[in-house]
A and B are shown apart, each in its own frame.
Chain A
């Protein structure tokens, strides 16, 4: 059964005010197009969960979509701080729940595997444990040693961008695979955006590469370039210049508003956004081909 739909429809149907959203992808394939669509549709009071909120959540926070942030690294990777989020955390206008990367991912792992909690070894650093009551300790029933535990994270909706999938939602990704699979299995609903829709036979030619199976997917949206200014391995490069530019934009609230007006509210969809980017930017982000050696599954 095809689940093909537009991103507008998918967001309208599966992202509700007050939901907990996990837009997946560790630096790679961050689903910016979906973030922008959520802003355009004016969602409110969202709990935004991501290991690295990145620019996508900073834009959503700036647009007033968020009530709370769940994170483990709230910086602009390689650049510095996320100024808007930082200010809101400092002045208390945004609620937050903070983890380390591993404990954040353990929460998703517990959610994805249906476990009541996930244990981790102690790290010797306990200040975050004291600051966030979601961290608890239990005794290992076999050795008596204390381990740190975190509860499952079960988002209402996970949004995952992929290189290719079929119309049902069998999705294949390569490059950095971060926490996409765990986010998808942990969530109640899954929205996929994809660079390419391929025939089911393409997926079945390489089943090891399928990270998300169709039966947990609710919506499949064909949205090329959906992760810019993040990147999609083998399709286009990370727009590092924009990550640096955002640092300057966020120095001035008026420039942030102007950015959102022009590049989010001012465009209909990702196609319009991509075409609006200067030709030299699109040129700069092109990547040369580097093919993997084919594998032989054998005819049985």
Chain B
């Protein structure tokens, strides 16, 4: 079956979720990945949204993180202070999806400014939102992004959300409770941190090559000794995604 690059991203991201995970969901592709996981291998996934909604059962695709469909039928609604403190800071969130304009060699994420001068940015982006705390405190963080050189610099211009800083020990020294960036899902494959926190290529999707991945990465990308191949999207995954979750094809 044919599929698009974004369908490949969403399906591989969904497979990273475990049944019973508590997941901090973002809008867009991560929302589709979580809903797909819930309808396939992870029926007891608990979806939490930073707007303060716990256990959402959205009946339509929400455009924003605070859509009313997230509330109707949810298990609980909390204030923002509570969602970030009782849930996230306390350590009750297993997984979160993050995004940004840059992801660097150590899984750090930039969603704030492009350019070296924060006060006079070349490009001003939206900024942290909840992602600074999410990256610090969730047990596992995943990133979904197209695999392009400009998105994968050696070093981020600004670290909005921490991966492993300059290496795993640096992150550990801060005492931040979360496990950091555990996987970056791209349209070419999967990148995961090695023992030092450096992202290495651990799997390729069908049809993509190590050379392609290297050409599109801003640091000398290493591949894992046991480089794997991901299973192609199944008919069932594609059908649920297309017919049930995104019938308008917004994220195709």
Chain A residues within CB distance 8 Å of chain B: 26-28, 51-52, 71-75, 77-79, 81-82, 86, 89-90, 92, 98-103, 105-106, 108-109, 120-128, 131, 145, 174-179, 181-182, 231, 233, 237-238, 240, 243, 287, 290
Contacts and interface: CB of A to CB of B under 8 A. Distances in A.
A238 B136 contact: no
Given A26-B66, A179-B79, 14 more contacts: A27-B64, A72-B127, A74-B126, A77-B65, A79-B63, A120-B89, A121-B89, A123-B136, A125-B108, A145-B175, A175-B77, A176-B52, A176-B70, A238-B68
Contact of B133 (A101, A287, A290): A101
Contact of B132 (A75, A100, A179): A100
B149 interface: no
Contacts of B72: 290
B160 A89 contact: no
Interface centre among A27, A145, A237 (most CB of B within 10 A): A27
A123 B68 contact: no
A150 to B, nearest CB: 13
Interface centre among A71, A82, A100 (most CB of B within 10 A): A100
B247 interface: no
A237 B158 CA distance: 37
Contacts of A52: 129
B126 A81 contact: yes
Given A77-B66, A176-B51, A125 B132 contact: yes
Given A120-B89, A121-B89, A73 B129 contact: yes
A179 B65 contact: no
Contacts of A237: 68
B171 interface: yes
Contacts of A290: 72
Interface of B is mostly: loop
Interface of B: 27-28, 50-53, 62-68, 70-72, 77-81, 84-85, 88-89, 108, 112, 118-133, 135-137, 158-162, 165, 171, 174-177, 180
A101 B137 contact: no
Contacts, number: 177
A122 B128 contact: no
5 contacts: A28-B68, A73-B126, A78-B63, A123-B137, A131-B118
Interface of A is mostly: loop
B149 to A, nearest CB: 22
Nearest to A177: B79
Nearest to A244: B63
B28 A73 contact: no
Nearest to B50: A101
B98 to A, nearest CB: 11
Nearest to A125: B162
A123 B77 contact: no
Contacts of B108: 125
Contact of B159 (A102, A125, A177): A125
Given A28-B68, A89-B121, A77 B80 contact: no
